Structure 1
């Protein structure tokens, strides 16, 4: 028999729930994504859910970021030890994957894709205007990222040190 969630009398106050709200206007953009220094990979990222203090809201087992890219900008091919889900909020996004990023699909607003753990992936804004994307990574530490040789070479050529 599959367990079900019990019905409880839990009723947090408005103040308690406000402490669990991340207001976009109050979020600070991150500047610690090393691969964002690679030409063509510039992007703005806001951590929303994950591990404080980097993210204002704590969650166990997943992390959520909001990303904004100018037209033609991307996150380069990379790999996590975890699953990653992308949700297009606006614009058009090419989600690419594989050892050299040779396969892709296009997401439009509200389209969603789930990339399995162990599959190299990246994304690119293919719209004519800045666009927003949500990235959700599973696991306690999805930050253990690795990049294929061609991305490491591009980073080195640009003077960017990838961990």
Structure 2
């Protein structure tokens, strides 16, 4: 490996300041369904976000991406799957991670607990606390490009989201139906 010496200015481009992060309240096709309303902050890489306008704070996302998820009590993400590993870490509040074709299996997570879902498993999460919460999601990449692939939504989620007028186009981005 070649060892590099980079400047402070170059490192500044690799710092994500929380106070400067921009959120998308509609980063995924499920976010118009009331129980899945949440704010998505792309910290490192775009990950699997379906909102083409949500730029990451740190662009270089080789091998993984990091997203923060903010949600009110009772809200979270609908059942979905990925081709790569996905990790959830509660940063604020208590969360439940659930999985299975019907989401009938569940584990509760406290602050800084870590759960790692293998590829190809339907999973979701929700804030089970009594105050707004924050969760970190880390998604693996299929290659060094930072491409986490696309989200595979459970059929019931796509049906409910299409009823709201929101769908994912062939490029993997959100569009109005």
Could you tell me the TM-score, scaled by structure 2's length? 0.81
Provide closer, same or farther for how the CA distance between residues 63 and 125 of structure 1 changes in structure 2, counting only shifts above 3 A: same
1:41 matched to 2:36? The reply is yes
Shift of 1:32: 3.0
Q: Partners of 1:97 and 1:85 in 2: how far apart? A: 13
The match for 1:79 is 81
- From 124, 135, 138, the equivalent of 2:137 is 135
Q: Deviations over 1:95-150 (max 9, x none)?
A: 00111111110111100100000011000000000000000000132241111122
Which residue is 1:13 aligned to?
7
Change (3 A) 1:93 1:22: same
2:72 to 59, 70, 73: 70
Q: Where does residue 22 of structure 1 map in the other structure?
A: 16
- The alignment's C-alpha RMSD in Å is 2.0
Residue 144 (str. 1) matches residue 145 (str. 2) = no
Q: What do the CA deviations read for 1:30-85 (whole angstroms, capped 9, x no partner)? A: 23322111121000010000159821211111110001000000100001111100
State the alpha-carbon separation in 1 of the partners of residues 147 and 13 from structure 2: 23
**Structure 2 CA distance for partners of 1:60 and 1:92, relative to 1, 3 Å:** same
Deviation (angstroms), 1:11: 4.0
Cα contact 2:29–2:158 (8 A) shared by 1: no
Alpha-carbon offset, residue 27 of structure 1: 1.3
Task: Specify every segment of 5 or more residues in structure 1 that has no aligned partner in the other structure, as ranges.
Answer: none
Residue number in structure 1 paired with 2:125: 123
Q: Measure the CA separation in 1 of the matches of 2:157 and 2:37.
A: 14
Out of 14-23 and 126-135, give the one that drifted further: 14-23
How far off its partner does 1:12 sit? 2.9
Q: TM-score, normalised by structure 1?
A: 0.87
**Paired residue total:** 157
Distance 1:90 1:66 in 2: 11
Give, in whole Å, the separation in 2 of the partners of 1:110 and 1:76.
Answer: 22
Rg comparison, structure with higher value: 1
3-state DSSP of counterpart to 1:20: coil
